[in-house]
Amino acid sequence: MSACADGFWKDETGTADVCTEINECDGMTCGGAASTCVDGINQFTCNCGPGWGGGGVGQLCNDLDQCQLVVCGSSTSTCVDGDNQYTCNCGAGWSGGGVKTRCTADSCDASEAPTHGHAGTCTSDLPSGTSCQPDCDTNYILSGDSSCKEGNLNAGTCEHICSCADGGTATSGDPCPENKHCCVQPNGSTMGCTACTSNFFLYENTCKEWAPKCLPNQVMTHGPSNTQDRVCEEKCPDERSPHMIKKGRYCESWVHLKNMCMKSSWRSNKYCQQSCHALGFGYEDDECPVPHICSNNRSRHMVDRGIFCESWSHLDTMCARSHWSDKKFCQQSCFDRGLGYMGDEC
């Protein structure tokens, strides 16, 4: 008998030679439990099951990564690929997971009332990514909402509100409105002010107000101290003549002032006294102050840290300190803020 065609084998065990088809799928695994193999003459065909790709005539199936399009949860949660399935292993702050099941972020127990307050809208099962509002007792204010993220609770707190001498309110440790008074607790104790705004200085836990900045024709008779406010006194007032008042003219800007300063009628009435003095035509017995440029020398602390007088946020507080006034640190800037040193006429 002649040889068998491709895909067949010759059976010589019997009395007659027979060509029997070879089963190409014998011992063949296409891939995956649900994939099937179809025998053909001298070939096989793989039909791939769910979770497997490829296949076809003479081609095996390829396992598809089920985790490729799955996000189990946080970056600490992991995905394990399987045969047409995935398994999520949950990280800290996440729970659930398992075969074909994603993780979910843990909720928070926000039911515990804050000190000096109540739970408010907060519950024992606050979902991750949400917030709630506790309630605070009288004389206390909420610092912020309570929020939950992956099982971690950021709880709001109740801060004490002080009553102020001017009837306003402020949170504990902060100055009252306009920094004019410090906070006073219900028991009467004073809450110390930490800083004062421009034109105020700190004295015995109270922000006291300085007099306004002295003008060029004024002299500061006494300056920042712990016992008295600054006082500005006019030495040479710039009183205008009736003619100037009628015409709306001012001493500082009148172009003909120099000629007027030399007239006897003006000198006897001392019109525009400071401005005439500044032009070099002062009147007899004048003691008008002559403004001068003050220095802006910085302290060693400021130099080492690259801090400048004109822009330092703590300048107002420092201007009121005695060791600064003795050495006249930031003299011009302190004067410009209405906190000049004793005798300064910047």
Whether residues 136 and 30 share a domain: the answer is no
Quickly state the pLDDT bin for 14 (edges 50, 70, 90): low
Whether residues 192 and 222 share a domain: the answer is no
pTM of the model: 0.39
Any idea what DSSP says for residue 336? H
The pLDDT assigned to 190 comes to 41
Q: Return the SS3 of 261.
A: helix
pLDDT over 80 (residue 154):
yes
Q: Domain for residue 252, yes or no?
A: yes
pLDDT over 60 (residue 306):
yes
Please, are residues 203 and 180 in contact by the beta-carbon 8 Å criterion? no
Q: What is the mean pLDDT of residues 154-174?
A: 60
The pLDDT assigned to 290 comes to 59
What distance in Å separates the CA atoms of residue 51 and residue 32, rounded to the nearest whole number? 8
pLDDT over 60 (residue 180):
no
Whether residues 297 and 229 share a domain: the answer is yes
Q: Return the SS3 of 25.
A: coil
The pLDDT assigned to 175 comes to 43
What b-and-e string marks burial along 215-240, b requiring 16 or more CB atoms within 10 Å of the CB? Answer: ebbbbbeebbeeeeebebebebebeb
Q: Domain for residue 107, yes or no?
A: no
Q: What is the mean pLDDT of residues 8-32?
A: 77
pLDDT over 70 (residue 64):
yes
The pLDDT assigned to 15 comes to 56
Please, are residues 70 and 87 in contact by the beta-carbon 8 Å criterion? no
Question: Tokens at residue 7, please?
Answer: 């895909």
Q: Domain for residue 346, yes or no?
A: no
pLDDT over 80 (residue 10):
no
Q: What is the mean pLDDT of residues 45-57?
A: 89
Quickly state the pLDDT bin for 134 (edges 50, 70, 90): very high
The pLDDT assigned to 108 comes to 94
In whole numbers, what is the pLDDT of the chain averaged over residues?
77
pLDDT, one tens digit per residue, over 314-335 is 888 888 787 888 888 888 888 8
pLDDT over 80 (residue 140):
no
Q: Domain for residue 188, yes or no?
A: yes
Best CA proximity match to 302, nearest among 292, 312, 316: 312
Q: Domain for residue 81, yes or no?
A: no
Number of domain units in the chain:
5
pLDDT over 50 (residue 187):
no
Whether residues 192 and 297 share a domain: the answer is no
Q: Who has greater pLDDT, 17 or 145?
A: 145
Whether residues 298 and 215 share a domain: the answer is yes
Any idea what DSSP says for residue 178? G
pLDDT, one tens digit per residue, over 237-291 is 888 999 998 888 888 778 888 889 989 888 889 899 888 887 888 888 777 765 5
Q: Domain for residue 84, yes or no?
A: no
Whether residues 218 and 315 share a domain: the answer is yes
User: Lowest-confidence range among 119-123, 127-131, 155-159, 215-219?
Assistant: 215-219
Q: How many CB atoms lie within 10 A of CB 29?
A: 12
Q: What is the mean pLDDT of residues 67-93?
A: 89
pLDDT over 70 (residue 102):
yes
Whether residues 219 and 330 share a domain: the answer is yes
Quickly state the pLDDT bin for 112 (edges 50, 70, 90): very high
The pLDDT assigned to 281 comes to 85
Q: Domain for residue 43, yes or no?
A: yes
Whether residues 167 and 253 share a domain: the answer is no
Question: Tokens at residue 221, please?
Answer: 């008779």
The pLDDT assigned to 297 comes to 87
pLDDT, one tens digit per residue, over 199-247 is 445 455 554 555 445 555 565 555 543 334 455 666 778 889 999 988 8
Q: What is the mean pLDDT of residues 288-306?
A: 77
Q: Where in the sequence is the domain holding 271, given as residue range(s)?
A: 236-278
Q: Domain for residue 54, yes or no?
A: yes
